[in-house]
Structure 1
Amino acid sequence: MRTSEPYERTFDEEPQRDDQPGCPDCGGRVTTTGHETVCDDCGLVLDASPIDHGPEWRTFEDEPATNSRTGGPVTHARHDRGLSTEIGSGQDANGNTLSGRKQRQMSRLRTRHSRARYQSKRERNLAIGCVEIARLVSALDLSRALRERASSLFRKAQSEHLLKGRSIEALAAGSVYGACRTDGVLRTIEEVADVARCDREKVLLGYRVLNTELGIASRPISPGDILPRLFTALEVPPSIRSRAADLAQRAREEGLVSGRSPSGVAAGCLYLASEEHGGGLRQEAIAEVADVTPVTLRARYQELQERSESPSPL
């Protein structure tokens, strides 16, 4: 009975005549195939190759044809890169229910397996950091790719001995914030600190350590990155959104962002756009959502207004 689908032969699987003069044992003819070199007369195997040119999967007659692989890909988000062994419970590999005696045995094996899960304290700290990063990514509604990048940053920090004397939670939160800055995902330090198990100063310290020691390629935040969050929170009309985005882009081109808070510039652009379209947005509401003071908003608004009234309009 055939147990697998036939596959196409490759050129090195066809029988070929070897260049050797003959078999060293009997002097017979030697033939080379894609797997081994044998003597046609006595059957002596002169050379064997471990390369199997066939498919990686098997398809049986009572199963649908599929070429899927088993197991998940290697990931940095787990301390063992996703290659650990998990002992199941309740059923065997065929779906049959285990007996009570076998279930108790599996329970004892799981207990021993969990106790021997970490080979060293270093590996245990890495597992704690990966779990904390996964929790932060879930709380901030971030992508799986960003979780991978944050876990990779944490691994690199541990390999550079940056965990010594520092909090695991602080470096995990700093890794998440650093990954956001690297990928251009807008998450403020306050948003990360709100869901982290440490205060804002420790999160900022963790990010600064990673940025200084590892040289994270993080790009600066522009006012245009902050505006969508303000639009959503304040339910800004489309006409004001378009004008505020244009003001933010021109402010960046003319250097009004240098040395100033991006949130303050974004709040000033939104308030100026609102005033140009008949008002409707209060300074206190915009400043609260942008996390700046009304004084900062008015200062940026006045700078933008003066530039817009100058001979070279904003």
Structure 2
Amino acid sequence: MQPGDVYETGFDESTGKTTSESATCPECDGHVVTDGGERHCPDCGLVIDEYHIDHGATARKGPGDERDPRHIGSPRTPARHDYGLTTEIGRTRDGTGRTLDGKTRQRFSRLRVQHRRARHESKRDRNLEQGCQEVSRIAGALGLSRSLEEQAAMVFRRAQDEHLLRGRSIEAVAAASVHAACRCAGLPRSISEIEPLARVAGQRVRNAYRVLNDELGLPTPPPTPTAFVPKYASALEVSTAIRKRALELAELAVERGVASGRQPSGVAAACLYQASLEAGAGLVQTTLADLADVTPTTIRTGWNAVLAAIDATDGADSATADAGGTASPVPGER
């Protein structure tokens, strides 16, 4: 005799929910079991019900217990002013999903107001919250990763600790922090892409970034054309062969010193233009100029420099091949 023949209901200790153990599978009429809050049929594998809310108590570490005593929750993140350790008060439903009545909703509304007022101990905390929210907004609009968002928030925190917010808007420093995080990570995000997303004038963002770079000593490596080639190639949807050849030309431009003193985005666009000519794709210079935010003259100048580097490399290779093919004289002969 099965336990389900005696007990019509059961209790799942992993979720703390009373479940029906005597149910049958609607597909194969098999016996339904409950495991970890999931009701499924072991015969055909049909999942009937899922229950993900854990009503059990948090595990505690006792004597001789090897379980991890840490509470389960979202990890700490510097992208939030309180590192994510905040309290959220609901509006229309409680923790179990039941709808609240009007009197309870009014009480929760007053609690939210008091909680919002008591959440900040000083004006510094309010500025930090506003700055972190602005950093998250810009990072989300740019499609940046969570790690870059946290790095930008750390730059903003350092700027606040060094008292660099005085006389500057929070929005400008937040936008400059995002650009600084991208520069430190080697991500090709120009400040021209961040300026339209900022809620202040672009010149204020540039001034704020200049101050952050000077006062904080940010480890920002100089941008290279190789960092911009994949971005432009993806935007133009060129073939893999053109992308690979453009990267080779960009590395050659850095090696030959073509990129020195020139805008790296323009050199990257010139490398893509030359790679497209070699492959017969024939990209237009004006399209590349609009994508790289430079003038067509910059593209042509960089292209001529890239051609000169290619000719110099081909000449050096030819000279090396000729020198290697010439027979060396026998010692003692003239």
* TM-score when normalising by structure 2: 0.71
In 2, distance between residues paired with 1:282 and 1:94? 60
1:133–1:151 Cα contact (<8 Å) kept: yes
Q: State the Cα distance separating 1:295 from its structure 2 match.
A: 0.9
Structure-2 residue corresponding to 1:189: 191
Distance 2:208 2:311 in 1: 44
Gaps spanning 5+ residues in structure 2: where?
A: 1-12, 15-60, 319-334
The equivalent position to 2:77 in structure 1, one of 62, 70, 75, is 75
* Corresponding residue for residue 243 of structure 2: 241
How far has the Cα of 1:93 moved from its partner? 4.4
Corresponding residue for residue 20 of structure 1: none
Match of 1:138 among 137, 140, 143: 140
Distance in 1, Cα, partners of 2:84 & 2:291: 40
1:225 Cα deviation after fit? 1.0
TM-score, with structure 1 as normaliser: 0.75
Identity level (%) = 48
Structure 2 matches for 1:36-47, cutoff 5 A?
Answer: none
Distance in 2 of aligned mates of 1:90 and 1:57: 37
Contact 1:307 1:313 (8 Å CA) reproduced: no
**Is 1:272–2:274 an aligned residue pair?**
yes
Distance 1:100 1:262, change over 3 A: same
Q: Which residue of 2 aligns with 1:162?
A: 164
| Deviation at residue 117 of structure 1 after TM alignment | 2.2
Deviations 1:149-177 (A, max 9, x none): 11111111101100000111110001000
Higher relative contact order (CA 8 A, sep 6+): 1
Partner of 2:116: 114
State the Cα RMSD in Å: 2.8
What number of residue pairs does the alignment pair up?
Answer: 260
> Structure 1 stretches (4+) deviating beyond 6 angstroms?
none
SS at match of 1:312: helix
Identify the range of structure 1 (300-309 vs 162-171) with the bigger mean alpha-carbon deviation.
300-309
Q: Summarize the Cα distance change of 1:123–1:272 in structure 2 as closer, same or farther, 3 Å threshold.
A: same
Cα offset for 1:235?
Answer: 2.6
Offset of residue 91 of structure 1: 4.0
The CA distance in 2 between the partners of 1:111 and 1:286, in whole Å, is 52
Instruction: Please report how far the alpha carbon of residue 52 of structure 1 lies from its aligned counterpart in structure 2 after TM superposition.
Output: 5.0
Is there any run of 5+ residues in structure 1 with no aligned partner, and where?
Answer: 6-50, 59-66
The answer for the alignment partner of 1:312 in structure 2 is: 316
The answer as to whether partners of 1:75 and 1:82 remain within 8 angstroms in 2 is: yes
Check the 8 A contact 2:273/2:282 in 1, yes or no.
Answer: no
Further displaced range: 269-278 or 91-100 = 91-100
Q: Judging changes above 3 Å, is the alpha-carbon distance between structure 1 residues 252 and 201 closer, same or farther for their aligned structure 2 residues? A: same
Q: 1:68 to 1:52 in 2, by over 3 A?
A: closer
- Offset at residue 234 of structure 1 (A): 2.3
